[in-house]
Structure 1
Amino acid sequence: MNVDHGYVGDIGRFTFMNGIFPLARHAVDRGFRVALITNQSGIARGYFTETEFLHLSDWMQEMFLAQGVELAGVFHCPYHRTGKVERYTRDSFWRKPNPGMILEAARRLNLDLFRSVFLGDQPTDMAAAQAAGIPRRIMLTKSGTVPEGMATLTIRQLSDLIPHLA
């Protein structure tokens, strides 16, 4: 969804990926619901607060609405086992590569994971989607290399995914 500037917790450091809005509109037009599943260890590490992240999430949702796309949900994991903020310092089933956030999104949003498409840019994204039972796992990667069997399709830019969404 956003360019990885490392631990982005505020609007000033947030940059939408090129092509995210047309891709999201295309997906919604084909009956998909778009949800964001994101590790946010910056909260546990003390780089920004959960309240600041929630403010950023609200703004992201507003930006999508302005582009004609309603996000079905934003699911985040603020936990990390080596965090500095005691409240968030722990292991969590929600933290990717675990499937917890995906399973919770499916429960809350009544999603059929077998018919879902998961797009990510990290091997942990693919591992979480695979563990959740999502058969269509798309990896956005500049290198074009992905560990064997993790992704069912690799793309180099978001627009490459549009023809694959039926």
Structure 2
Amino acid sequence: MADRIGTPHPLSEPGLWVEQTGGRVFPPRSPALFLDRDGTVNVDTDYPSDPAEIELRPQMLPVIAAANRAGIPVVVVTNQSGIARGYFGWDVFAKVNARVLELLDGQGVFVDMVLACAYHEAGVGPLAVADHPMRKPNPGMLTEGGRRLDLDLQRSLIVGDKLADMQAGQRAGLSQGWLVDGEAAVQPRFAIRRLHDDHDVGGLLAAIETLGRERGA
């Protein structure tokens, strides 16, 4: 992980981090599993900035593993307003990001791309942008990941712990998402599934496995 931290930050613009974290190549128009990070992949410690405090949420490990087995790209999309607010910089984000990936690797699972948006209306300098198209609930990070990996967004899934994650998925053209500790809801052309217990996780695993079978058909 030290090499990842030591390389120049993969910023495509001042407030957008786009990092392809693995060398896997996917067929054109593959569906993806989009994941929020803080509160979904790892425990949210309120603007996580200390790599030593990062703790994975066990619930997500079988989900990521299922996507890995099915050949489904796993794409993390995370808002990082702490950078805009000046709480920490991209250097700290890089270390925390590397720690998350390291812990996932230690559990035998991995993600294929990480996108992070640091724009926020309460930011300073070039990061002070209200309602930036890359910041969830806007769909920019999902569509950017879709463009770079040539994804089929309509068949893709999203998991997050906030309604903004679900709204980003809906606006990007996805048809369903799973809301951690939230409630199910059906909206126009988009279904929110709840993600509370093992039964709910089983439903998400089944959806991923279905995508894998369709991909191999």
Q: Per the alignment, do residues 137 and 38 of structure 1 end up closer, same or farther by CA in structure 2, a change over 3 Å counting?
A: same
Q: Deviations over 1:50-90 (max 9, x none)?
A: 1110221122222222322231111000110112x323211
> What's 2:165 paired with?
125
For 1:40 and 1:94, locate their aligned partners in 2 and report how far apart those are by CA, in whole Å. Answer: 11
Match of 1:78 among 85, 106, 118: 118
For 1:101 and 1:13, locate their aligned partners in 2 and report how far apart those are by CA, in whole Å. Answer: 26
For 1:60 and 1:4, locate their aligned partners in 2 and report how far apart those are by CA, in whole Å. Answer: 12
Count residues with an aligned counterpart. 163
- Indicate if the aligned counterparts of 2:73 and 2:111 stay in contact, CA closer than 8 A: yes
Q: Per the alignment, do residues 75 and 152 of structure 1 end up closer, same or farther by CA in structure 2, a change over 3 Å counting?
A: same
SS in 1 for 2:147: helix
The structure whose RCO (Cα within 8 Å, separation 6+) is larger is 2
Following superposition, which runs of at least 4 residues in structure 1 exceed 4 angstroms of deviation? none
Moved more, 113-122 or 17-26: 17-26
Alpha-carbon distance, 1:30 to partner: 1.8
TM, length-normalised to structure 2: 0.69
Query: Which residue identity lines up with residue 133 of structure 2 in the other structure?
Result: F
Q: Deviations over 1:110-130 (max 9, x none)?
A: 221122111111010010000
Larger Cα-atom Rg: 2
Percent identity of the aligned residues? 36
TM, length-normalised to structure 1: 0.88
**Residue ranges of structure 2 left out of the alignment (5+ in a row):** 1-40, 210-217
> What's 1:156 paired with?
196
- Indicate if the aligned counterparts of 2:64 and 2:110 stay in contact, CA closer than 8 A: no
CA RMSD, Structure 1 to Structure 2 (Å): 1.9
- Indicate if the aligned counterparts of 2:184 and 2:192 stay in contact, CA closer than 8 A: no
**Residue ranges of structure 1 left out of the alignment (5+ in a row):** none
For 2:56 and 2:108, locate their aligned partners in 1 and report how far apart those are by CA, in whole Å. Answer: 15
- Indicate if the aligned counterparts of 2:183 and 2:192 stay in contact, CA closer than 8 A: no
